[in-house]
Amino acid sequence: MRGLIDKKGEQFAYLEGNTLYTMDGEATGYLQEEFVVDLAGKKIWRVVGDGVYTLNDAETIGYFSSDMPDHLVR
């Protein structure tokens, strides 16, 4: 599991496998190549390394944390 951390350092979502979830455990999208796509497959954010950006790279959304084993976060 990898957290999605905003610019203020707060986790607002997490990635399990390629699925992105809200902090309430609701699936909201997927990691697909270098993009986060919504459940309908529409690109919503660009991923470069661990950084997450708007599609035109004009604004930083946040970053993915390091991978954490499930037994450490549950």
Yes or no: domain 2-73 corresponds to CATH 1.20.272: no
DSSP state of 42: -
At residue 74 the predicted structure's pLDDT band, cuts being 50, 70 and 90, is: very low
CA distance 2 to 62: 12
d(CA 57, CA 47): 10
**pLDDT (0 to 100) of residue 15:** 95
How far is it, in rounded angstroms, from Cα 63 to Cα 47? Answer: 9
Considering only residues 74 and 41, tell me which one the structure prediction assigns the higher pLDDT: 41
Q: pLDDT of 34-52, one tens digit each?
A: 999 999 999 999 999 999 9
Neighbouring residues of 2: CB distance < 8 A, sequence distance ≥ 6: 14, 15, 64, 65, 66, 67, 68
Domain range summary for the chain, segments of one domain joined by +: 2-73
pLDDT the model gives residue 71: 55
